[in-house]
Amino acid sequence: MKDLLTTTRRQLLSLVGAAAMTAAVSAPALAQTGDYPNRPITFICAFPAGSGADTLVRYFANAIQEATGHTIIVDNKPGAAGTISAEYVARSDPDGYTVYVHSGFSTAVNYSLWNNPAIDPRTDLRGVAGINEQPFFIVVGVDSTIQSIEELNAYLLAEGENATYGTSATSGRLLAAQYLSELGATPTEVPYRTGIEMVPDVVNLAVDFAVTDPVTAMVQAREGRLRVLATGSGSRMDIAPDVPSLTEYGMTVDQVGVWAAWVPAGTPDDVVATLAEMFGTVMQEQETQDFLRTMGGVPWIATPEEVDQRMRENVEQGAFLVDLAQLPRN
Amino acid sequence: MSDFASNLALGFSVAFSWQAMWYCFVGVSLGTFIGVLPGIGALAAIALLLPLTFGMEPAHALIMLAGIYYGSNYGGSTASILLNLPGTPSSAVTCIEGYPMSQQGRAGVALFMTAIASFIGSICGMLIMAIFSPPIAALAFSFSAPEFFSLMVLGMVAASTLASGSPLKGLAMIGLGLILGMVGRDLYSGLLRFSYGVDQLYEGLPLVAVALGIFGLPEVIKNAGQITGRTVEARSISFASMWPTRDDWRRSWGAMFRGTGLGSFFGALPGTGGLLASFMSYATERRVAKDPSRFGKGAIEGIAGPEAANNAAVQTAFIPTLTLGIPGDIVMAIMLGALTIHGIQPGVSVINNHPDLFWGLLVSFLLGNFLLLILNIPLIGLWVRILAIPYWVLYPFIIAFICIGVYSVSNSVVDLYVLMFFGVLGIVMNILRFEPAPLVLGLILGPMLEENLRRSLTLYRGSYTVFLTRPISALFIGIAVLILAWTIYGMFRARARRRAALAAGEE
């Protein structure tokens, strides 16, 4: 027994020694970043494990792992609408081993929802690759007398504050705020926690119309409960080609949720390029594009510069919309 | 009817897949194990296993978690009968008649009747769920904010006043729970309330941490101080000793069906559940008995009724949870959380959009209850032996598992601080004899109650009469008022009786 113990211990010690040697050799190599990645990469997800958003993050983790052979780990850091995870990534070592896969629009809007934002996503994060664009939709119950967006506009202008509308999620509130400000109508807002919680009140016409996320809108329209009147994105989206954009009615509304990948701001160019290539390979696959459409969005293939550019626009747009919707800051 | 048949067929195809049967077996076995151990309920086990279900099919996850829940109700009575220690809160009432029977050498009969009563209660509860859920779900689309609000008010009033203990303390605890439910982001303004700069409280107090803190920790600490030695003779429970006499059967049938009725009703009402149903059933049996003096000395109908009641309640508790999205208790709240994590938004659409999940779960109850019958009658000796595990081995593990369970829900250390805070609060409440269940119920329903109240007032232009002018809502409010009136009448009558007794004593 004693023999066994000592042997095991000696073996262990030699193992530790070997590991230390490897570390010593590879440490300077890391500085050149030529051999990135040489250890597992962690994807940070701002939603709990198993959630719809988590499925999306894990899809990319698996697909990249299969395509490149590098090990990818998904770490869930939910809380405070993504603020906790965004700050975690921004404060991580800028070595390309911590990657944030999340909605850029919501990260940008968060910057305007706090008095002391934990990070500035324009300067603390660096874009890697685009993933998809998710439009929000204006819907009414299928039994509503309102058949089109023109009829809704006329109804809202006539009814004033007597009309009501439902919103779920901050993105929905912001889209409603801009649509109503462009229209010049002032119906009463009824907020809901989730899209599905709102559906019964839209169906039984307790609210006159609602602004909802793409998944709820598409699924409930298919089930014959909701009628989709318009999209808040700047142009018609190919997931719903029959639904007009508000811009077609002379309104300046162009809001799309946008998913992308980021790393901490100081990450070297070649590391970002390597990561971008990994995402790019997977984004080109038909399977990925089909998967992204089932998540209610349209695939968005974008370079690191385009992701950074979009973030700057989104932060600016977010600040404008938060003021317009008169959302208070925490 | 053909709809019903095809739904059931769908349920069978889901529940009788190899994987689903395996998870069902794991769930009910674990549930029985947890139930047998005094001081640790289904809640801790479910919270601990929740993260393990993330990789599973949603239906399988729910089948396993539900198995733990109703399995623990079977197991809970074992410790009640043999040791006079309730394994789960809702089996507390089983101690009253079960332990005397055990002392008379009739433990086997009591255990057997418990299993049979639990089985009958569960199967009836399941049938009620199968028959009533689709119409309720259809009706739910005409439910709007006022109906949700009134139903929750009714549930809270019933839960806090009808339960054992002081109705005033119950209402006070609901109130505290409602206040704690305000922590976090306000849906209307988007502002944070009472979070004091802790970002982790953005979504409100972590439910699992609060519930385990307030139920789990004090229970473990309390038992650790009290119980020293135990002697259970596993050998003494042979299969032959379990068979009830003809007289036992005769007494038990009626009790089981009355218990099932009570259990099904209170289970389906959000907020009330197995615990209340089992007390009500016991009180009813005492009242209808020809010879009430036998009670407290091992009357078998005092076991059969409450056991049927609490198991029926466990099954029907799924009705409001899956048809309306209103969780009746903490376990149901965690089940809804599990659904949300799997991308299934709880609410009126679960039964329509995910029929495989609803009917699969329902049919798994049938399978699970058969498995439990096998686990709890021929294999009872195995569970009895578990009671011999010394507490000094068991309790450190339970505490460690509680901490792991709480942490793993969202990988946050803040949740552990919340656990500790509510653990201390739970001990204080225990000493002062405040029930923890109404507090947790207030915390669960608080945000929904507030949002639906404000939503009703927004939708109906600030008119408070909307709760009385809409018929379904008025019905709920009416029942709530009746329950309150009955409670107040009961309190006055009790006081008058005490005075009379006092006066009689002075004479």
Residue written as token pair 């399941």 = B126
Minimal Cβ distance to B189: which of A190, A201, A328? A328
Cα separation of A6 and B455, whole Å? 71
| pLDDT band (50, 70, 90) for residue A166 | very high
Nearest to A191 among B144, B187, B349 (CB): B187
Q: How many contacts, defined by CB atoms under 8 Å, are there between A and B? A: 94
Write down the pTM of the prediction. Answer: 0.80
In tens, the pLDDT along A275-317 reads 999 999 999 999 888 888 877 788 898 898 998 999 999 898 8
Interface of A with B in 201-240 (CB under 8 A): 201, 203-204, 206-207, 219, 223
> Within 10 Å of residue B497's Cβ, how many Cβ atoms?
10
Per-residue pLDDT for A50 more than 70? no
CATH 3.40.190.150 in chain A, residues?
41-134+256-324
**Pairing verdict, β A209-212 and A164-168:** parallel
Predicted local confidence at residue B183, as pLDDT: 92
pLDDT score of B184 more than 80: yes
Per CATH, is A41-134+256-324 categorized as 3.90.110.10?
Answer: no
Specify the range with the lowest mean pLDDT, choosing from A80-84, A228-232, B320-324. Answer: A80-84
Give dist(CA B73, CA B274) in Å, integer. 9
Min CA distance, A323 vs chain B (Å)? 13
What average pLDDT score do residues B425-443 get? 87
Report pLDDT digits (tens) over B262-282. Answer: 899 888 888 777 778 888 888
pLDDT at B94 over 70: yes
Tell me which of B60, B200, B202, B473 to substitute to probe the interface with A (most A C-beta atoms closer than 10 Å).
B202
**Across A137-141, B161-165, B239-243, which has the greatest mean pLDDT?**
A137-141
pLDDT higher than 80, residue B54: no
Give the ranges where B411-435 is alpha helix by DSSP (H): 413-431
Asked if A190 lies within 8 A of B345 by C-beta distance, the reply is: no
Interface of B with A in 359-398 (CB under 8 A): none
Q: Which of B2-6, B246-250, B278-282, B470-474 is the least confident region?
A: B2-6
Percent of chain B with pLDDT over 90: 18
> What is the architecture, at CATH level 2, of domain A137-249?
3-Layer(aba) Sandwich (3.40)
Which chain B residues are within 8 Å of A172, Cβ to Cβ? Answer: none
**Average pLDDT, rounded, for chain B:** 83
Q: Provide the pLDDT for residue B121.
A: 92
Q: Which of B6, B144, B384 has its CA nearest to residue A197? A: B144
* B441 has pLDDT over 60: yes
What is the rounded distance in angstroms from the CA atom of residue B75 to the CA atom of residue B88?
Answer: 8
Q: Considering only A37-41, A121-125, B35-39, B409-413, which range has the smallest mean pLDDT?
A: B35-39
What is the average per-residue pLDDT within B451-456?
92
**pLDDT higher than threshold 50 for residue A10:** no
Question: What pLDDT, on the 0 to 100 scale, is given for residue A11?
Answer: 46
> What string of DSSP letters covers B81-139?
HHHS--SSGGGHHHHHHHHHHHHTT-HHHHHHHHHHHHHHHHHHHHHHHHHHHHHHHHH
Cα–Cα distance between A20 and A1 in angstroms, integer?
29
Measured CA to CA, the distance from residue B302 to residue A311 in angstroms comes to: 68
Q: Which of A136, A135, A131, A134 is nearest to A300 (CA)?
A: A131
Contact B336, B328 (CB under 8 A): no
Both tokens of B470, joined, read: 């809409």
Domain with CATH 3.40.190.10 in chain A: 137-249
B410 touches chain A (CB under 8 A): yes
**pLDDT reported for residue B504:** 75
Percent of chain A with pLDDT over 70: 88
Inter-chain CB proximity A52 and B343 less than 8 Å: yes
Q: Position of tokens 């699992």?
A: B208
Mean pLDDT, to the nearest integer, of B221-231? 62
**Contact by Cβ (8 Å): A220, A199:** yes
With cut-offs at 50, 70 and 90, classify the pLDDT of residue B507: low
Q: Residue B182 and residue B199: Cα distance in Å, rounded?
A: 15
Q: Is A33's pLDDT higher than 70?
A: no
Instruction: Report whether pLDDT(A156) > 90.
Output: yes
